[in-house]
A and B are shown apart, each in its own frame.
Chain A
Amino acid sequence: MASRDEIVDQIASFALFADLTTPQLERIAHMFEEEVHPEGERVLRQGLSGSAFHVILDGEAAVVIDGNQRATLSRGDFFGEISILLGEAPGADIVASRELRTLVLAGPQVKAVLLDNPPLMYRMLQAQARRLRNANRWRS
């Protein structure tokens, strides 16, 4: 269990939040909730609507599509944003591959938080660009 102060300290070092001031980070820590998932638990479920945006505080998660593991996510990584931005159900299961702690923002709140925090939106866009580049490299 982490206090809000500890969460602020933790997320300050994440690339996603790197451009935010301390009061902005505190606000983020208040708006997000903490969740913990034991090893093996599904955090996002492929095909089920209404999921959330997660930032990994600690632990590891597997990205699983149709039963096949495609990637591993760890501290500082985030997931769930694509289905929220597109208004679709997630295209993959996210499964805790060991105990996983995440900061969670409900889907309907994501747009407002991104619009209120342009540096956060820019960092997310950078991460998506990186993923797109890597996917293109992988295909070519």
Chain B
Amino acid sequence: MAELRASPSSADDRPFPPGEYPVVVVGSGPGAIQVAYALRRLGIDHAVISADPSPGGMFRRWPFFQRLLSWTKPYAPVDRTSRAYERYDWNSLLADEPENRSLMPSLMDGTSYFPSRPEMERNLATFVERTATRIRYECPWTATRREGGPEGERFVLETPDGEYRAQVAIFAVGVAEPNAPSTPGIELSHHYSTVRPAETYAGRRVFLIGKSVSAFELATGLLQWARQLILVSPSPVKLSVDTRSLVGVRARYVQPYEDHVLGGGVAVLDASIEAIERGPGDALTVRTRRSADASELAIEVDDVINATGFVCPLVDLPTVGVTTFGQSRLPAQTPYWESASVPGIYFAGTIGQGSAGLKKHGLPSNSGAVHGARYNARVLAAHVARTVFGRSVERPPVTSADLVPTVLSELATAPELWHQRAYLARVISLDPGEGPRDEGIVPLAAFVDGLGDDGTADALALTLEADGTGTIYPVLYLRREGRVEERMIEPDPLLRFDTPAIQARVVEIVDEVRSEIVRK
């Protein structure tokens, strides 16, 4: 079993002492571990520093009720060490060595489809140990500055151990700082991150600010303890089974909503929260205004819990020019997860959701979860290796006879396409001179805007997409002379994307671009 806590360390036995490195990675959650692993495989020298004493990031503490929302299917239709298995396993990190792949299922005790929090923490620690990924723990990044020099600009990251200088800084610090709205009296509430043990809410009236996943997670855990639960925010509740995406309350936490609609006593209100006040007696009064008719409603409760989420702990990055946006203060990013305002600063892990991609039909990427972010990290590491450090990458040729089978095989099994729908694409370039070549996985937004590492030559990009109706279908993008067109393929009811019908459509589409190549 992996050691969950690093042994007591002195500055001497920890890796990566302060100094100059080509790349510094900050963090020790899944995003940082995955990007550090990928950089090492590409031979890019780097340091990894983390404020935490052990690997795991947010999984060292949360989810509060100690079981994940993301599943791992131990018995799947494909072999556990195969690339195709990653579709069924949302929680393992990606390794090139077969023995380090898909670690999660072997660490689960069989009682659930969803790993417990300690199992997930062990999964990440085991990956770090087996892949010998080195991290300097208990080395918090405290400040940042930019420094000019003969070899160009460097980022200087300050820590209590000393300063780190790097051409590239990759921050994988999660979206982990509690967010507090500016409501008068908010100090009388406590945040999700400081919720007490569930049994201390026995017989109490609990008011939850928010109707997101975290609010419903708490409500689910408090159902058998609280006397009354009231969930309030201005907009109506969204359920993931309705949005057909990770947006909204996930199925595991829908129980309080069912209780509400069946009249069990849980209240779910659409209202703005105007103030929280003390009294009467030891109670609290929450003043709300209903969204529908602006009527006032005062609600007396014993506890107010603020479940309005988290923001990015970006320390002083905004002061060095990093633009942020939205409620979570995510940094604005390019399709390759580079700060849109400060080149050289990149983001990995859940912060990568700031690179929204095309968000077709309003469906976000899965970059906020391990099963999406792990692929982003691998693409990011390859991008940095190629564009900053000039490393050449493999571009295997695809023979003309293999073109259609390659497309079908990727559509049917590629985990990058399954998990990052309409976000990551497999690109096959179609340069008439060198013939079709596999350019690897490219962010779709970069491909359609001609900003991808694959260049701007004529090419075919393969994706899987969804439109919010519950249907998943392949889409091929054709880039010819810089102009991109999309070609949708009819869905298959059993999600088999290598059927004869789909093959016939792929042949048709590939023939469109083939004829162009021949003409040239």
Contact = CB atoms under 8 A, between A and B. Distances in A.
A50 B356 contact: no
A37 B363 CA distance: 18
Nearest to B466: A50
Interface of B: 181-182, 233-235, 270-272, 289-291, 294, 323-327, 329, 332, 334, 340-341, 356, 358-363, 422, 448-449, 465, 467-468, 484-486, 488
Contacts of B332: 36-38
Which of B341, B359, B363, B422 has the most chain A CB atoms closer than 10 A to its own CB? B359
B341 A38 contact: yes
B161 to A, nearest CB: 31
A30 B235 contact: yes
B290 A23 contact: yes
Contacts of A47: 484-486
Contacts of B290: 23
Interface of A: 1, 3-5, 21-24, 26-27, 29-31, 33-38, 41-42, 45, 47-52, 99, 101, 104-109
30 contacts: A1-B329, A3-B327, A23-B234, A23-B289, A24-B291, A24-B294, A27-B235, A27-B270, A27-B291, A30-B235, A34-B325, A36-B332, A37-B332, A37-B340, A38-B332, A38-B334, A41-B449, A45-B448, A48-B358, A48-B484, A49-B360, A50-B465, A50-B467, A51-B360, A52-B359, A52-B362, A105-B362, A107-B361, A107-B362, A108-B467
Contacts of A21: 294
Given A4-B327, A36-B340, A48-B358, 6 more contacts: A1-B326, A4-B181, A5-B182, A26-B291, A30-B233, A50-B422
A45 B335 CA distance: 15
A125 to B, nearest CB: 23
Which of A4, A22, A106 has the most chain B CB atoms closer than 10 A to its own CB? A106
Given A26-B234, A27-B234, A27-B270, A1 B359 contact: no
Contacts of A3: 181-182, 327
Nearest first, the 8 closest Cβ-Cβ pairs linking A and B are: A106-B362, A50-B360, A30-B235, A38-B340, A36-B325, A50-B361, A36-B332, A1-B324
Contacts of A106: 359, 361-363, 468
